[in-house]
Amino acid sequence: MRNRFVGILMGLLLSVATTAALAVELKLADFQPATHPYAAGVYAPFADEVKAKTDGEVTVRVFMGGELGTGPVEQFNRAVNGVADIVFALPGYTASSFPKTLLTELPGVISADTGTERVQASLADLSKEYRRVVLLGLWNNAPNLLLMADKPVRSMQDLKGLKIRTPSRNGGRVLEAWGAAPVSLPATDIYNAMQTGVIDGAMIDATTLQTFKLAEVTKYVTQGMQPTISSFFLIMNRDSFKDLPDSQQAVVQEAGKTAALNANRIQLEVADKALADFAALPGKEVITLSADEAAPFDAAAAKVTQQVIDDADKAGLEASAYVKALQP
């Protein structure tokens, strides 16, 4: 009897040990503040889906506010080097690694409303750019606007010589075509740069009026021209991904696609509310260009878009075909 009891006990202990060995906790890193809408609206559902569909064998722990390393520009390397298993980042911060991905930010290539669905349907076309990581989700933000500290922009002439933050290299080319001097800065540095006069304004979407408190240092917002539209992604360390069984890999990838759609929806919702709230503040103004006022901006931006696509074609990226696949 005693031997039988010992055998059962050993079996239970072995079962517990095996379950513990199978359990995996994935670290997800985001440099944005813990109050960012992604925390509750994207990452919590992502973690819930992964846990539920792997029967609790895979869990996700979220680290906001740069807990796993400060500096949003370094996010891609944190995924590559395994500092985090999954990271949120902008491909525009490491533009040289993602020339095809970043075609989507050019004016006229996608729309803010349908871009994410079209990009998600064409992820296979981007596989070469994500050899060092696993791409879980790719989405676009709301249209990038011009947030100006104290100088209103009602025409291209108003931008001449002004220092404007750009989200990426392509965004910088558009700003140059508009007559501005682009300045590369991560979103986390914009507030201080605008407050101290290092830059005159920023090209960025309206969500940042709320999430990065840029409404406090912005007096004018200009919209109405064909916008640039930035891309965001969730990427995963390749070794962390390969360590999961095939069934769990499929769960994480599917959850990543859902996360991308949720993130895009949140971007658009928060941007609309933030812009409306900004317009209601005393001393603030949202400038919406008329078609005639926007025409010079759009003509200059269209030339940049075509030039970047032509250059990408010459580099063998099949850019024209990719852009065509994204069109309605």
Domain spans of the chain?
24-140+230-270, 144-229+281-302
**What is the chain's Cα-based Rg?**
22
Residue 328 pLDDT class (50, 70, 90 cuts): confident
End-to-end alpha carbon distance in the chain: 74
pLDDT at res. 4: 54
**Cβ-based neighbours of 202, under 8 Å, separated by 6 or more:** 146, 147, 164, 165, 185, 190, 193, 194, 208, 214
Report helix, strand and coil shares of the chain as percent, to nearest 5.
Answer: 55, 15, 30
The yes-or-no verdict on residue 292 having pLDDT over 70 is yes
pLDDT at res. 2: 52
For the whole model, what pTM was predicted? 0.87
Indicate the SS3 state at residue 190: helix
The yes-or-no verdict on residue 15 having pLDDT over 60 is no
Average pLDDT in the 274-289 region? 98
pLDDT at res. 19: 43
pLDDT at res. 313: 97
Which overall architecture, per CATH, does domain 24-140+230-270 show? 3-Layer(aba) Sandwich (3.40)
Fold equal for 24-140+230-270 and 144-229+281-302 = yes
> Is CATH 3.40.50.10490 what the domain over 144-229+281-302 is classified as, yes or no?
no
Measured CA to CA, the distance from residue 262 to residue 139 in angstroms comes to 9
pLDDT at res. 70: 87
Which amino acid makes up residue 219? K
Average pLDDT in the 209-236 region? 97
